[in-house]
Chains A and B, each alone.
Chain A
Amino acid sequence: MVMDITQSKIVTYMNRAEGMVHIQAKSIILAMGCRERPRGALNIPGFRPAGIFSAGTAQRLVNMEGYMPGREVVILGSGDIGLIMARRMTLEGAHVKVVAEIMPYSGGLKRNIVQCLDDFGIPLRLSHTIVDIRGVDRVEGVTIAQVDEHMKPVPGTEEDYDCDTILLSVGLIPENELSNKINVQMNAVTSGPVVNESLETNVEGVFACGNVLHVHDLVDYVSEEAALAGKNAAKYVLGKFGGQENSAHTVTLEAVDGVRYTVPKTVNVGRMEDTVKVRFRVGNVFKDSYVSVYYDDERVLHRKKIIMAPGEMEDITLDRKKLLGYPDLKKITVKIERE
């Protein structure tokens, strides 16, 4: 495991066989992934008994260790791992009583709602959260309540469920502790590094990809991103990266009006490949709306989408040839428009 990295790209790792080892790298690719948000981060009140697991921990226990975390389950959060664990636990003989989701929409894929919950008659309670956990030694029950538009529990809407297990599927946080050690510039929305078209961070020769960069919905996109980061790191090491001389052509991407962020954040037109995929997420459920892209003030893309939801990633593709036709371009804006 990597223990430390420095700005001069000395990587310190440790394992059983070699002990502590320092290596001087020419380039570093950050691919540390993400961790699950724990109960504490949500400030869920109540006791702290055994039987409260993040969905991923439960997943590891069931799928890799072969142990059942519990029999009567309440799940908080409708992230995909939680939904999949609802089905998994049910098929192993557990009783999943309810899935409570604080948002008015699910954070998971529609397919998972149907095939992991509806197939087994597991209710999904939107705009609901856990307001109390009972049980001193082991979980004995929870209270869930409806929340208002400020996500505050509404008094009088409490419902009690007896259960011995609570699974939390309430979000993922990129693990950027190492990135912070070398002052990689971070995006407050993604909690991941700010990167350019080559997935390079502000620290030269340091690249990022996967869930450490931004949390993905599908692993396929992670693989694509990883390949790109690897390729660019190799180019960098070989001195073929094409450097700062083209930085005059750098265009900044701006995410507004429903678009929460973009990865990458800047595009060096001189260095980019023929096309660059720009991935983003929307901040709400949008129906019959348009993804619009503006080159400065000119709208160059206006693509209708029947539905966009925060749980699913969207993307647009930037074309190098087209961008070369805009030598004075400063800013590319990505936004959601109603019409």
Chain B
Amino acid sequence: MEKRELICIGCPLGCMITVDMQDGKVVKVTGNTCTRGEKYAVKEVTCPTRIVTSSVRVSGGDIRVLSVKTREAVPKEKIFDCANALKTVKVAAPVRIGDIILKDAAGTGIPFVATKNVKSPSTL
């Protein structure tokens, strides 16, 4: 039996949740106050995911740095790989919110998308 401890992020209460696991499966969740906590805990110990927010440089636009995020949440252990995958990415203006900036963030299959519009001089 393996015990995993985590803090629930559902609300400011921040319950200390303990998850008992056997062979990678959740056996018991304790410490949560509500069902949202249980759901969160199960997800967090089986397949924790995060949305990664970052930025890339943009050339020929009205701003120099473009904010981006992964369109969906990526596996938590891929956070750094995703962020680092942007190091070599440069985009050219114009850019529109939702444009795909990097097709596949670090092999997750999930793209980075723009969260800002960038105008280029011709569209100014």
The interface of chain A, by Cβ under 8 A from chain B, is 62-66, 88, 91-92, 109-111, 113-115, 118-119, 287, 306-309, 311-312
B33 proximity list for chain A (CB < 8 A): 306
CA distance A119 to B83 in the complex (A): 14
Other A-B pairs, 10, CB within 8 Å; known A91-B83, A307-B11: A65-B65, A66-B57, A88-B53, A91-B52, A92-B83, A109-B12, A115-B50, A306-B33, A307-B13, A309-B12
Size category of the B interface is 20 to 34
Interface residue from B9, B53, B63 paired with A111 (Cβ < 8 Å):
B9
A113 proximity list for chain B (CB < 8 A): 7, 9, 14
For residue B67, give the distance in angstroms from its CB to the closest CB of chain A: 6
Q: Interface of chain B, helix or strand or loop or mixed?
A: mixed
A308 proximity list for chain B (CB < 8 A): 12
Known: A63-B65, A66-B64. A115 touches B9 (CB 8 A): yes
Chain A residue nearest to B58 in the complex (CB): A66
B65 proximity list for chain A (CB < 8 A): 63-66
CA distance A111 to B57 in the complex (A): 28
For residue A294, give the distance in angstroms from its CB to the closest CB of chain B: 25
Known: A91-B79, A91-B80, A91-B83. A110 touches B11 (CB 8 A): yes
For residue B106, give the distance in angstroms from its CB to the closest CB of chain A: 13
A-B contact pairs, 27 of them (CB 8 A): A63-B55, A63-B65, A64-B63, A64-B64, A64-B65, A65-B65, A66-B65, A88-B53, A91-B54, A91-B79, A92-B54, A92-B83, A109-B12, A110-B8, A110-B9, A110-B12, A115-B9, A115-B50, A118-B7, A119-B76, A119-B79, A287-B13, A306-B13, A306-B33, A307-B13, A309-B12, A311-B12
Of B13, B63, B79, the most chain A CB neighbours within 10 A belong to B13
**Contacting residues of chain B (26-65) with chain A, CB-CB under 8 angstroms:** 33, 50, 52-55, 57, 63-65
For residue A183, give the distance in angstroms from its CB to the closest CB of chain B: 37
For residue B16, give the distance in angstroms from its CB to the closest CB of chain A: 12
Q: Is the CB of A66 within 8 A of B55?
A: yes
CA distance A287 to B11 in the complex (A): 12
CA distance A66 to B11 in the complex (A): 33
CA distance A118 to B44 in the complex (A): 13
B9 proximity list for chain A (CB < 8 A): 110-111, 113-115
B14 proximity list for chain A (CB < 8 A): 110, 113, 307
B52 proximity list for chain A (CB < 8 A): 91
For residue A83, give the distance in angstroms from its CB to the closest CB of chain B: 12
Closest 8 CB pairs of A and B: A307-B13, A91-B83, A111-B9, A66-B65, A309-B12, A110-B14, A114-B9, A307-B12
Chain A residue nearest to B50 in the complex (CB): A115
For residue A198, give the distance in angstroms from its CB to the closest CB of chain B: 30
For residue A240, give the distance in angstroms from its CB to the closest CB of chain B: 36
